[in-house]
Amino acid sequence: MSGPAAPRRLIPADELVLPVFQAWRRDWFLLAAGDFAAGQYNCMTLGWGGFLRLWDRPVALVAVKPSRHTFGFLQRFPAFTLNHFSPEFRKKLLLLGTRSGRDGDKLAESGLTPMASTAVPAPCFAEADLVLECVQAYADDYRPELAFLEAMAGGERSGRPHRFFFGEVRAVLGDSRYAPPPAAT
């Protein structure tokens, strides 16, 4: 889709319509952590994650390496958002996934517009077509010695392994494509 973003509206998590694996593998998400009002936040592109039902709640899972600047924000602030964009934003997501916020204002360079979320202090983005607002519920480190598959045991190629952050989904906002079609009358 090109032109101005279609308006987002609140979608009950149980009604979200999303090709989950395609969204993570092909489109990626932009993870934002921190506090928008305090002006303290950072974002990074994310290809590893998922949506699940745990503890009787809708939960988002993200896998983040401790070396990422965003990791420090996830440790200091309880909330994060996951932002999905239409394919025309791919180049911007590549930029945000290859530069570190530690080294300069990559967000300004990307041209994306951070804005207040509805249910959590972490920002979302005006250009996103889907936003999941989450509050951290649990976190744990990936431990290769517990992996059942050889490929996964060796899957953490360099540096400290990913940490898995589980966030309770507090709000989902998306354009009409992410909501079920109205029931036929």
In whole angstroms, give the CA distance from residue 123 to residue 134.
11
- Residue whose CB is less far from ligand FMN, 57 or 65: 65
- Residue whose CB is less far from ligand FMN, 11 or 31: 31
Chosen residue from 34, 41, 70, 89 binding ligand FMN by CB under 6 A: 70
- Residue whose CB is less far from ligand FMN, 46 or 60: 46
Contact indicator for 19, 127 with CB cutoff of 8 Å: no
> b/e for 138-159, b at 16 or more Cβ within 10 A?
eeeebeeeeeeeeeeeeeeeee
- Residue whose CB is less far from ligand FMN, 67 or 113: 67
Contact indicator for 93, 155 with CB cutoff of 8 Å: no
| Min CB(91)–ligand FMN separation in Å | 11
Chosen residue from 18, 48, 139, 179 binding ligand FMN by CB under 6 A: 48
| Number of residue whose CB is nearest ligand FMN | 97
Chosen residue from 40, 98, 113, 118 binding ligand FMN by CB under 6 A: 98
Does the footprint of ligand FMN cover residue 23 (CB under 6 A)?
no
Does the footprint of ligand FMN cover residue 44 (CB under 6 A)?
yes
Work out the number of other CB atoms within 10 angstroms of the CB of residue 98. 10
Torsion of CA 90, 31, 105, 8, to 10 degrees: 70
Q: Which two tokens stand for residue 16?
A: 């979200």
Does the footprint of ligand FMN cover residue 42 (CB under 6 A)?
yes
Size of the site for ligand FMN (CB under 6 A): 21
Q: Which two tokens stand for residue 118?
A: 């509805």
* Residue matched to tokens 């909501």: 179
Angle CA 118–120–121, to nearest 5 = 105
Does the footprint of ligand FMN cover residue 65 (CB under 6 A)?
yes
Chain residues in the site for ligand FMN (CB under 6 A): 28, 42, 44-48, 63-65, 68-70, 94, 97-102, 162
